[in-house]
Chain A
């Protein structure tokens, strides 16, 4: 088949380019699964604690929304409830970005044209990318099976759970293959696919919330929206609870359909073109664009708007769910303990709210990293060179980017606190008071985000070529320390590495000025290092 000529060669190229990423993915997910399974086994060692966990999880709408439906009291079922959503989201996003990277991004940069002029069939690049990425998902699933079974879980359930997660990866591989045909830019393709991930999460959450609790109280039968979400399918396999193997056919079917659609679309369009036509725009610039600040706002506003919508929806739903939290805690001392560990303090509602605000601060950290890494993207593209050849100093340019990211972070934090407060206040009858209080509490997380901004800036100044990898790694380390550090019983010294460790968990505890001042000082030092290093280095480098 001439349309596939060169596929093997291109697949080897994909493997070569991504050998490190793929290794981290394929080895990292099983390792994470193994560690999580072990720690869950420690927290819920016997039938009695697991019975309690399952009953609470099945009756709590919050648990259903964020952990998915629980399926019985097997240790494996608890492990799945605690880990599935996180692992599935990671795998979904990794698959999505990998597909775009090896298809649309190549077209956007012109690399595909270079390859296409050689003996390479029309479908070869897409096929090569899909082969490698589906392969990576498969290998990761096999290793995850080994990891789960190795952690002492039943084999059949381990296979089902790992296949469920691999299936999510495969499903989003198919979706990304289609979005890569639609959008002209890699950014656009990723945004479309990531939006599909978000939509899948919401559909699954809705389906699980609307589902029914089984008669024995330890199971949830999801409603139909979960069935139209690729993220939901993995739960419907019911690993460790009478596995329904046939559900695994759904991601495979989606893969076949997605690939067929992607090929059909690829057939219909030119190299480099998309199906969503780019719009035209103004012939002259509005005066407000004509400064580094104006440009930074223009570059950020789309991203910021997307984040704002996501944060607001999540904030409202978490706020509304807070009230229900009391009931859940009463029924589950183990969960109470976990929440206490996350937020500390006596009042459990406040501990919950503090934990949610902490989660928002972590998530918004990703916005800060994303926003600041634009400078590096501009440098790699060559746009930075053109900009710095004008009468704008490096300090002003970088300072503007940091300022823009900081203002964005403030806006998102405030929005997170206010919407959570509104949601909680609507249920308890004091929307305005709660909005103000939680809005303020959320803003106290800003110093941690400033430290993130400082870390990215310092990396950009000192090790520009490593900016992207190191910045995301730093955030991931902070995330893992914050979310899993307590569960994994890491020493305090390790936890202290993360700026989030030092933010007072308001409203669960009283605000304290000292840690915030210290964080702000650390941030200022990191920013100063970053700017100074940037002023003294080559551009581009």
Chain B
């Protein structure tokens, strides 16, 4: 039974259509990455899952229950780290953690103290004096101190330093080991790559991709650079091969993973001297989906992009890094 199951979810705010038929399925025990550009509807989806927002239409089930009607009962079984943590300004961090934990139904004191230590958080300071990162730590400590079945984390590490990021990743692995399910909305690609079993990518309120990272990689073209004894010809005619061009006697091209075999068959005839094949980086994958051209990205799993998306810029790995139009996504 899926822990989270959302089908055709729609949510509007006046004229804004924040969610436009979104689908999301999260299985028991997995860490599920929830990705999408700013404003694509991640926080809105999460708030609907928590029964904070009311959906306009569509199905939503969390742990087998309706998140709006059974909110209170469900909340005993899940912990939430909001995207923009704000706390009671005149409580100390320690008090806020205890309060959130107790309101949720109790927390593990030993874990709480251990987490405070690991996250290097001073619990005697008033919440109003905390930086963004420290407020986030309070919410993270409060969440992970509660032994629950589902952790809903909305960009939980956007204010953490790399050291704390590592501690956070350890915690996610720990609760996963213990059998919990994690929904992790994140922009930190390294974090997603390190933690997530499966990811869903959304755009403008719709799911555009969903699957394991390996599966998603298969949807994006592999960059190939080949050096041959004789000049290569006839590549343009091959199915699934794109963007062929020659630089300094080397041929650069991109190929859809499904057609790699045919490509190699063709290349061999020209005497291959050197060949590098670069699978798409996660960054390229996301840039393709985050990019401006929805036609190129919204076509779903089996579709072949009609035009080269942003991720296909640059023929070699090195070039790809230099040419990527939105290299700052990391």
Interface residues, chain A, with chain B CB atoms under 8 Å away: 108, 184-185, 278-285, 289-292, 295, 298-299, 302, 381-383, 385-393, 536-540
Contact = CB atoms under 8 A, between A and B. Distances in A.
A292 B54 CA distance: 24
A108 B129 CA distance: 10
Contact of B124 (A281, A299, A387, A388): A281
A285 B92 CA distance: 8
B105 interface: yes
Shortest beta-carbon contacts, A-B, top 4: A285-B98, A390-B103, A281-B92, A290-B102
A280 to B, nearest CB: 4
A388 B50 CA distance: 9
A206 to B, nearest CB: 33
Given A280-B124, A391-B76, A386 B87 contact: yes
A454 B5 CA distance: 39
B95 A289 contact: yes
A283 B128 contact: no
B270 to A, nearest CB: 57
B84 A386 contact: no
Nearest to A383: B86
A interface SS class = loop
A292 B103 contact: yes
A389 B124 contact: no
Contacts of A391: 72-73, 75-76, 103-105
Nearest to A378: B88
A284 B125 CA distance: 11
Contacts of B178: none
B102 A282 contact: no
B98 A289 contact: yes
Given A281-B124, A393-B72, 11 more contacts: A283-B124, A285-B91, A289-B91, A298-B91, A299-B88, A388-B52, A391-B73, A391-B75, A538-B47, A538-B52, A538-B53
A385 B103 contact: no
A280 B125 contact: yes
A445 B99 CA distance: 35
B82 interface: yes
Contact of B82 (A281, A292, A385, A538): A385
- Interface centre among A184, A282, A292, by most B CB within 10 Å? A282
A416 B99 CA distance: 34
B286 interface: no
- Interface centre among A282, A284, A537, A538, by most B CB within 10 Å? A284
B99 A289 contact: yes
A390 B90 CA distance: 20
Interface in B105-152: 105, 123-126, 128-129, 139
Nearest to B68: A536
Contacts of A392: 72, 75, 103
B89 interface: yes
Interface in B56-104: 71-73, 75-76, 80, 82, 84-92, 94-95, 98-100, 102-104
Nearest to B139: A386
Given A382-B84, A393-B71, A387 B98 contact: no
27 contacts: A185-B128, A278-B125, A280-B92, A280-B126, A281-B91, A284-B98, A285-B99, A285-B102, A289-B95, A290-B103, A291-B103, A295-B88, A299-B90, A302-B90, A382-B84, A383-B87, A385-B47, A385-B82, A386-B82, A386-B85, A386-B100, A389-B75, A389-B80, A390-B103, A391-B104, A538-B53, A538-B54
Contact of B89 (A185, A393, A538): A185
B87 A278 contact: no
Contacts of B90: 298-299, 302
Contacts of A108: 128
A339 to B, nearest CB: 43
A279 B99 contact: no
A527 B133 CA distance: 39
Contacts, number: 111
B102 A291 contact: yes
Given A278-B129, A391-B76, A391-B103, A283 B92 contact: yes
Contacts of B85: 382, 386
A279 B92 CA distance: 10
Nearest to A387: B103
B125 A282 contact: no
B288 to A, nearest CB: 32
B94 A283 contact: yes
Contacts of B54: 536-538
Contact of A285 (B71, B72, B80, B95): B95
Nearest to A539: B52
Contacts of A540: 52
Contact of A385 (B52, B75, B76): B52
Given A284-B95, A291-B102, A382 B86 contact: yes
B330 to A, nearest CB: 23
B80 A386 contact: yes
A364 B88 CA distance: 25
Contacts of B104: 390-391
Contacts of B102: 285, 290-291
Contacts of A381: 86
A389 B52 contact: yes
Nearest to B73: A391
A540 B54 CA distance: 11
B181 to A, nearest CB: 16
A280 B91 CA distance: 10
A289 to B, nearest CB: 6
A278 B87 CA distance: 16
B89 to A, nearest CB: 7
B86 A282 contact: no
A285 B90 CA distance: 12
Contacts of B53: 538-539
Contact of B99 (A282, A290, A382, A393): A290
Nearest to B116: A283
A284 B94 contact: yes
Contacts of B139: 386
Interface in B8-57: 47, 50, 52-54
Nearest to B93: A283
A280 B130 CA distance: 12
B139 to A, nearest CB: 7
- Interface centre among A185, A285, A298, by most B CB within 10 Å? A285
B174 to A, nearest CB: 22
Contacts of A302: 90
Contacts of A278: 125-126, 128-129
Contacts of A184: 128-129
A540 B91 CA distance: 22
A536 B76 CA distance: 21
Nearest to B125: A280
A191 to B, nearest CB: 12
Nearest to B112: A284
B53 to A, nearest CB: 5
A540 B95 CA distance: 24
Nearest to B77: A391
Contacts of A389: 50, 52, 75, 80, 82
A184 B90 CA distance: 12
Nearest to B87: A383
A289 B95 CA distance: 8
A54 to B, nearest CB: 49
A282 B124 contact: yes
- Interface centre among B94, B99, B126, B129, by most A CB within 10 Å? B99
A315 to B, nearest CB: 28
B126 A279 contact: yes
Contacts of B47: 385, 538
Contacts of A295: 88, 99
Given A281-B124, A393-B71, A386 B95 contact: no
